[in-house]
Structure 1
């Protein structure tokens, strides 16, 4: 398909689990957009190995799989095991529960961070946990009070309240800045008029 963007080469350094999760998603979207889902398993595996990069091919070779006898799912499962070693759920929950909104961090960024972290925690209800952590972790006590006063607080409602409050705060700050600027200009004009008036009196 003309103009279709290829997935980047997989980065096996740094946070490999996160890198793999993002790369896998981009690869799956590419396969769907390129209409390759109906191709043979051999072709699918070949496309994956062509896109994943040299380091990925070297890792694939350690799986000891035969390309003509394996499936795309089999290859993907092996990469999954390589990139995502068994996680410590207690530690993942500790990181999630310790996560609070940082100074200067937008609500959108904070919520995305929580939604990403909670996926590793194996909670029964991820939505409830993210909702509760928003209430506990936001920096604005006024917004927290509003959330606590909401009788039926869903995750969607909590996000809406926080985002509306953030937008309103930005708008108020912008208005205050403009009003301060107008006030300064008015003061300067009044000061200039005063000087002119005084000058006229002296001249007279």
Structure 2
């Protein structure tokens, strides 16, 4: 396979958040090195990395003072690029993004939770799990989840908050399905009821015709109720 064809990794040096851009790039390269390029040597993998890193990355590389052995170690490249982008990160901005992330109407809880876990990594909080827990309480789109979490009080853990949200979302989906099925059943019942209102024209095993007009005597005359 030509490892340079297709969607190969590309570092975005113009990104506002270089830390996130680097993480995405590094993860992409790791997939390539574990997949199509798994059989290549580590030295060759370093060369591929330097091809994908772009001109800006190669300029940064030229400032390093690496031994010949280190030039063949992929982890050395990862560590040095990580050190370069880290000082460029802004904790205040990272925390702003994290604290501003609320669950939108179109978000499933899993999508919301994944974003929170990614965003909190660059915030530098001493207790990131507590921050994710609090973000779920404040940012959930379902007030019943928030109410349940607040009721739990100081006993609320991240795991409990996640379970509350997942359970409530699942219950809503199940209830929606049940309501839809109930509507279908009711419609079928109404159709069956209308069908039963039509007579088959038989009563007690004999054919009969529904009588029209006032009742008549044996002579075909209507009885006189005034006499």
The C-alpha deviation readout for 1:144-171, integer Å capped at 9, x for no partner, is: 1111111411101110111011111111
Aligned to 1:61: 58
Name stretches of at least 5 consecutive residues in structure 2 with no aligned partner: 1-6, 211-227
Tell me, in whole angstroms, the C-alpha distance in 1 between the residues paired with 2:188 and 2:47.
Answer: 65
- Deviation, structure 1 residue 85: 5.7
Matching residue within 159, 163, 167 for 1:156: 159
Tell me, in whole angstroms, the C-alpha distance in 1 between the residues paired with 2:24 and 2:134.
Answer: 27
Change in CA separation of 1:154 and 1:166 when aligned onto 2, cut-off 3 Å: same
Structure having the higher helix fraction is 1
Matching residue within 111, 114, 122 for 1:112: 114
Residues 51-200 of structure 1 mapped to structure 2, 5 A cutoff: 52=49, 54-56=51-53, 58-62=55-59, 63-64=61-62, 68=68, 70=71, 71-81=73-83, 86-151=88-153, 152-194=155-197, 196-197=198-199
Tell me, in whole angstroms, the C-alpha distance in 2 between the residues paired with 1:46 and 1:175.
Answer: 58
Name stretches of at least 5 consecutive residues in structure 1 with no aligned partner: 1-7
The C-alpha deviation readout for 1:148-204, integer Å capped at 9, x for no partner, is: 11141110111011101111111111011011111011112212322x139889953
Matched position secondary structure for 1:150: helix
Tell me, in whole angstroms, the C-alpha distance in 1 between the residues paired with 2:134 and 2:54.
Answer: 43
Aligned to 2:45: 47
Change in CA separation of 1:199 and 1:187 when aligned onto 2, cut-off 3 Å: farther
2:11/2:25 contact within 8 Å kept: no
* Residues matched between the structures, number: 191
Bigger mean CA deviation after superposition, 88-97 or 161-170 = 88-97
TM-score, normalisation: structure 1: 0.76
Aligned to 1:11: 10
Change in CA separation of 1:45 and 1:141 when aligned onto 2, cut-off 3 Å: same
- Deviation, structure 1 residue 95: 1.6
How big is the alpha-carbon RMSD for the aligned residues of Structure 1 and Structure 2? Answer: 3.4
Bigger mean CA deviation after superposition, 102-111 or 149-158 = 149-158
Tell me, in whole angstroms, the C-alpha distance in 2 between the residues paired with 1:77 and 1:161.
Answer: 39
